[in-house]
Amino acid sequence: MMTKKNLKSIKKRRRFIAGIVLLLFLIFFLWLIFQKRDFKVTYEKDGFQITEEYRKKENTYLFTIQKDEKEYKAILTEPHFYNKKIIQKIEEYQENDETCITLISKKAKFFPLCLDKKEAISYHLVSDEMKSHLFFETLESKELTYKQMNIMNTLNHDFFIWNYRGFYEISDKSQKELPLFEKDIYDAKLITKTSEYIVIPNYNQEYYFSSVYLLNRKTLKYEEWNLKQNIYFDSQVLGVYNDEIYLVDKHEKKEYVLNPKKKTINRVGNKDYGKVYENGWQEVSMTKLTTQEYSFQGVNPIDYQIKDTLYEVFNNYKRKITQSKPTKIIQKNESEVFYLEGDTLYSYTDTYGNIKLISYFEWNFNNQNTIFIF
């Protein structure tokens, strides 16, 4: 016979189970509401038609703003918005062939969008007449000289500059020389960086290397890592993904992945194929990897290309961001690109435009894999 005590205990367990089920349902409901999903909406504001699109695969927002025959695009790689139609107001300015618009939103910061006739250009490239309508953030710079380098600005970055025997470290706080080898190394194409280390093959060895040096970006000290594997110097770095270096040994027809933090090296694929990252991991035949120049950039949705001048590229959209003719792109991400023009290193961001950073006469002769920026 069931007692009142047992009945009370059963009811208590049932309420507990019902509470758990309700909590799980609520969590699932909130997950459905707030999870990132592709969407595309179109609306009008101040005479402009706005198409607002979120692409989950690229974690990117694309805004297309149209009026008459003019089209502007804005790209944001920011946290997910839980609201749509986030542009509240658009202001438009025109000076001769130049037109610019400013987008006003409570959810995101937009930089002015400008056209020269129909070509998209950075707002930092417009005429002085147009600049009078726009807002620009100022930047202080200071100049100092170190080891035949003229340092104009660091933008709070750390620069590691190869000097054939090691590195110069240049930052806001210090300038140091970090020697490593006793002989000059001119072909240093296999030196690679992750978020914590610069990884340098042991160039004291000939034909192949079986160890690498890890330069810790914080301690500024070298540590030797024995790979227990011979890798020929005719190898190629394919790219860095999740702080792991993918490298193909063309002589031995093998691909490896190196993890400097864990100090592990593993074979990728087999004798017939390897892997590269192009909008997801893809198998590539070892013949192609060893006879062609393959590389991948990871997951950055925005790219930069030199074609006469420098362009920001997203899918088929191109925006001119310099008037000059850069010689080489050094490093890039979705919000900043570093490039060389002659013997001078520049940075471009939407905030400050093109900024001179460091001039070094040696870059006129050798700019291959010599600059690493954190």
Quickly count: other Cβ atoms within 10 Å of residue 177's Cβ: 12
State pTM to two decimals: 0.86
Report the pLDDT averaged over residues 297-312.
Answer: 85
- Distance (Å, whole) CA 170 – CA 355: 16
Q: Which pLDDT value is given to residue 269?
A: 86
How far apart CA 100 and CA 92 sit, in angstroms, is 6
Where are the chain's structural domains?
A: 39-131, 139-181+308-374, 187-299
Closest alpha carbon to 196 in 245, 246, 268, 254: 245
Average pLDDT over residues 319-326: 94
* pLDDT on residue 1: 53
Beta bridge partners of 144: 151
Q: Which residues are CB-contacts of 28 (< 8 A; sequence separation ≥ 6)?
A: none
d(Cα 167, Cα 245) in Å, to the nearest integer? 20
Q: What is the pLDDT of residues 113-170, one digit of tens each?
A: 999 999 999 999 999 999 999 999 988 888 899 999 999 999 999 999 999 999 999 9
Query: Residue 241: which pLDDT band, with cuts at 50, 70 and 90?
Result: very high
Bridge partners of 100, per DSSP, are 93, 114
Mean pLDDT of 301-330: 92
CA dihedral sign of residues 222, 169, 325, 92: positive
Question: Quick one: DSSP state of residue 81?
Answer: P
Task: Write down the pLDDT at residue 5.
Answer: 57
